[in-house]
Amino acid sequence: MALAIMCSGGDAPGMNPAIKKFVDYSYKNAQESYLVYDGLEGLIDNNIKKASHHDVAGIMHNGGTILRSSRSKRFFDVKYRQRAFENLKAHGIDGLVVLGGDGSFRAMERFSSEFNINFVGIPSTIDNDIYGTDYCLGVDTALNVIRDSLDKIRDTAASFKRAFIVEVMGRDCGFLAIVSAMISGAEVCVIPEVEFEHEKLGKRLAKEVKDGRKYIIAVVAEGTKKTTQVYNWLQDEIGLETRVSILGHIQRGGNPTVYDRLMAFDFTIIAVDYLLTHSDSNKVAVYQKGEFKLLDIQEVVSHKYELPKHYLRAVNLLD
């Protein structure tokens, strides 16, 4: 048996530790291992190479992924999925570990329904928006990047009596925004899942500014598309000079934290163990209530992730 690992979609801190553990653990189990470069595009173009310890030496502390990634439009065409399958078979690859998010898993669900390919997905996205898992690789590192930025922005906001809007990633999910807001003491948080009650909040903040409040920090999830609205509200209605900081792709970078490295190890071990003992694997490794489990890919892609209710309630409880 030979196993391969690839990354798909957006990169996330923790992918490199997972790749290293995959090669090391496969070797420990006397299994040949392969690296797929450039994601789904690499599968199509046969950018697949046999792995060695040299390939993964010294990558544990690096962010991003040495395998690179891609978003492939060609993979939507069955003839290219056929080519990807033939490339895997030509290398004798029987099992595939896929580091990716929702879009990647949907692609693999389609792929495995058409061809005899065994895979286990490892949820890897800083948005933390994969159904069935409490945690995705990269989230802790991203939150620490945001936390560091918010702490520094608060310093200058207080020095100039300003309001600052910090836009964070989160296309359809407000996980990064609400957690960052809670741990930084932000006064405002705007996420896709909860209506922004600006009138009620505005009355309180306007009074606090009149009574001497020196600054306001607002965290806005990019998916709300409300950064400009919040800017105008803070500047015109609350009465504070306002600045906007869009963190952007800085949130995906940086050395993976201890937690992300440990989670990468555990996710990878459960994925490899399952592929070595099952010939009909179409699973996603998940972390639920402190335990690692495997869910059918159909269950994962047919449901939408929802924020925990206590996070939703916290939006309107910020100080």
Do 20 and 114 lie in one domain? The reply is: yes
- CB count within 10 Å of CB 233 equals 22
- Cα Rg of the chain (Å, integer): 22
What domain range is 69 assigned to? 2-138+256-301
Last residue of a domain, one of 252, 285, 309: 252
Last residue of a domain, one of 221, 252, 283: 252
CA–CA separation, 120 and 284 (whole Å): 5
In a domain, 312, yes or no: no
Do 292 and 163 lie in one domain? The reply is: no
Do 12 and 117 lie in one domain? The reply is: yes
Do 83 and 10 lie in one domain? The reply is: yes
Among residues 127, 129, 140, 260, the one annotated as catalytic is: 127
**HEC assignment per residue over 78-110:** HHHHHHHHHHHHHCCEEEEEEEECHHHHHHHHH
Q: In this structure, are strands 291-296 and 93-100 parallel, antiparallel, or unpaired? A: unpaired
Number of domains the chain contains: 2
The DSSP annotation for 46-69 comes to T-EEE--HHHHTT-TT--S-TT--
Do 148 and 121 lie in one domain? The reply is: no
Helix (H, G, I), strand (E, B) or coil at 177: helix
In a domain, 319, yes or no: no
**Quick one: pLDDT at residue 317?**
67
In a domain, 315, yes or no: no
CATH number reported for the structural domain that contains residue 52 in this entry = 3.40.50.450
CA–CA separation, 260 and 142 (whole Å): 10
**Quick one: pLDDT at residue 58?**
96
Digits of tens for pLDDT over the chain (319 positions)?
Answer: 799 999 999 999 999 999 999 999 999 999 999 999 999 999 999 999 999 999 999 999 999 999 999 989 999 999 999 999 999 999 999 999 999 999 999 999 999 999 999 999 999 999 999 999 999 999 999 999 999 999 999 999 999 989 999 999 998 999 999 999 999 999 999 999 999 888 889 999 999 999 999 999 999 999 999 999 999 999 999 999 999 999 999 999 999 999 999 999 999 999 999 999 998 889 999 999 999 999 999 999 999 999 999 888 888 766 5
Catalytic site includes residue 260: no
Point out which residues pair with 271 in neighbouring strands: none
**Quick one: pLDDT at residue 180?**
97
In a domain, 223, yes or no: yes
pLDDT tens digits along 4-52: 999 999 999 999 999 999 999 999 999 999 999 999 999 999 999 999 9
Do 294 and 276 lie in one domain? The reply is: yes
Do 211 and 180 lie in one domain? The reply is: yes
In a domain, 15, yes or no: yes
Do 181 and 125 lie in one domain? The reply is: no
Do 153 and 8 lie in one domain? The reply is: no
Residue 137 · residue 14 · CB < 8 Å: yes
Do 11 and 92 lie in one domain? The reply is: yes
293 burial class (0-12, 13-18, 19+ CB within 10 angstroms)? middle
**Quick one: pLDDT at residue 315?**
80
